[in-house]
Amino acid sequence: MIETSKAIDFARGQFSANPKVVVEAPGRINYIGEHTDYNGGLALPIAIDRGITLVITESSDGSRIRAISESQRDVVEVDLDDIVQAEAFAGWSRYLLGAVKVLLDDGYALRGADFSISSDLPLGSGLSSSAALLLAVVFGLSLHNGLDLSRDTVVELAHRAEKSYAGANVGYLDHFAIGFATSNRATMIDFATMKHKSCEIPFTELLVVDSNVHHSISDGGYGRRRVECENAAKILNHRFISEATIEEAESLSDVDLRNRAVHVVTENSRVQGVIGAFQEGKTGAHYLVESHESLRDNFQVSCAETDLIVEGVMRSGAEGARMVGGGFGGSCIVVGGDYEDLKSQVISDFSRRGFREPTFFRAGLSGVLRQAL
């Protein structure tokens, strides 16, 4: 996470004012359980020690929102009345302004504020940068305006903002995982009931390999997979495809629907397998490889770069690895193996294929959504 002092210095440099609120919102790694959230299934995410640091300063104009991001540098400036009337937003600010708008839509009284955004979380890498920003803004505005919103409400509003104003028909996974994260523990979420519990994990960090093929959930591939899962559930007369048996999933005549259903049903089983492994103090890393193979073959959301990462690290002694996030690029997580050996192998593989070199970092698992000032 960006040091609070550095984030405050950036804010002061932009708006020449002392901070009123500082919020940290972590990214998240979904250890296992991919594309199960909107299918009423199971997932096991872990918040990491990288994320968004949001600094809010009091605006000199009580009716305006101003915002700047260290990664963008263009200042967004808009009246609260214009946000109320807007139907859509463009560019990176659609996340921030969407979060403001859902609060206004629900009748919360907001006053003007200046936002500065710092991040050490790669954008589009499958580590939930957009959800982290949305949660930071909703939580920060709650503190700034004395709204005293519950954590459930913060999560719900952030999710609604991404669906309604950021153009992404996403499930609850990212927002729920960040909003209810516990430091150095995984969160098992049952999306059929929205119940969750904290789980011990037998490690303190994971290797993340960012393929540097970056994606947007609002692109069409994610939406098509979601519709296919919904259609499969309808054919089998289930509310969610997660309710189907493997026999029912395999009975679907449409190849694409069958493959999507098989992934979801087997992925739920893999989540349960990992939870059992954690209870025994084991990593359950082989389930990650099975998950990646299913995401590649059944859900068809992997890409050449993420496949190459998994293949390379497994040849070099990793216990397990898989792509994380919505797919079509993004990052892979790796369990076990020697860091330098893994890195050398992947870089060599990418060079031979003419791919852009990936980025490697160790992610600690201590992230929580919190007020830092």
Q: State the SS3 of 135-162.
A: HHHHHHHHHHCCCCCCHHHHHHHHHHHH
The pLDDT tens digits of the residues spanning 178-202 come to 999 999 999 999 999 999 999 999 9
**Average pLDDT of the residues in 148-157:** 97
The pTM of the full predicted model, rounded to 2 decimals, is: 0.93
Catalytic residue from among 37, 174, 210, 349: 174
- The residues, ordered by sequence, that sit 6+ positions from 240 with a Cβ below 8 Å of its Cβ are 39, 40, 41, 192, 233
Q: What is the pLDDT of residue 61?
A: 84
Q: Are strands 320-324 and 185-190 parallel, antiparallel or unpaired?
A: unpaired
The pLDDT score that the predictor gives to residue 217 is 61
Do 196 and 235 belong together in one domain? no
* DSSP summary character for residue 356: P
Residues 128 and 178 in one domain: yes
pLDDT number for residue 215: 67
- 3-state class of 265 per DSSP? helix
Which residues are CB-contacts of 5 (< 8 A; sequence separation ≥ 6)? none
User: Is the same domain home to 150 and 212?
Assistant: no
| 174: annotated active-site residue | yes
3-state class of 49 per DSSP?
strand
The total of other beta-carbon atoms located within 10 Å of residue 58's CB is 16
Residues β-bridged to residue 43: 189
Burial class for 97, CB neighbours closer than 10 Å (0-12, 13-18, 19+): buried
Residue 96 reports pLDDT greater than 60: yes
Average pLDDT over residues 239-249: 98
Q: Are strands 370-371 and 64-69 parallel, antiparallel or unpaired?
A: unpaired
Name the average pLDDT for the chain: 94
**CA 373 – CA 119 distance, rounded (Å):** 17
Unique residue bearing structure tokens 């011990």? 200
Paired with 198 in beta bridges are 187
- Residues 117-127: b if buried by 16+ CB within 10 A, e if exposed: bbbebbebbbb
Domain count, the chain: 2
Q: What is the CATH number of the domain that holds 354?
A: 3.30.70.890
d(Cα 56, Cα 22) in Å, to the nearest integer?
A: 6
pLDDT score, position 233: 98
**How large is the average pLDDT for residues 19-34?**
97
In terms of domains, do 284 and 139 share one? no
* Whether residue 340 sits in one domain with residue 324: yes
* Lowest mean per-residue pLDDT among 118-127, 185-194, 293-302, 355-364: 118-127
Q: Residue 117: is its pLDDT beyond 70?
A: yes
Among residues 238, 239, 264, 240, the alpha carbon closest in space to that of 250 is found at 264
Give residue-wise pLDDT tens across range 30-41. Answer: 999 999 999 999
Residues 111 and 250 in one domain: no
Mean pLDDT of 91-100: 90
Give the torsion sign (CA, 265, 327, 312, 186): negative
Residues 150 and 251 in one domain: no
Candidates 329, 323, 324, 294; CA nearest to 310 is 323
- For 255, the token pair is 């190849």
Number of H helices and E strands in the chain, helices first, is 12, 12
Q: What are the pLDDT digits (tens) for 245-275?
A: 999 999 999 999 999 999 999 999 999 999 9
Q: Select the more confidently predicted residue: 25 or 18.
A: 25
Q: Could you give the C-alpha distances from 172 to 35, 177, 192, 224, 242, in angstroms and in order?
A: 11, 8, 11, 17, 15
pLDDT band at 220 (very low <50, low <70, confident <90, very high): confident
Whether residues 228 and 131 share a domain: the answer is: no
74 falls in which pLDDT band (50, 70, 90)?
confident
Tell whether 318 and 235 lie within a shared domain.
Answer: yes
350 pLDDT above the threshold of 90: yes
173 and 222 belong to one structural domain: no
**Strand (E) or helix (H) holding 220:** helix 220-235
Q: How far is CA 216 from CA 115, 169, 223, in A?
A: 23, 11, 11
277 and 321 inside one domain: yes
> Residue 148: which CATH number?
3.30.230.10
How confident is the model over 194-221, as a mean pLDDT?
88
Residue numbers of the domain that contains 34:
4-200+367-371
* Nearest residue to 196 (alpha-carbon basis) of 271, 130, 128: 271
Same structural domain for residues 212 and 133?
no
User: Residues of the chain with pLDDT > 70: what percent?
Assistant: 99
| Pairing label, strands 64-69, 113-119 | parallel
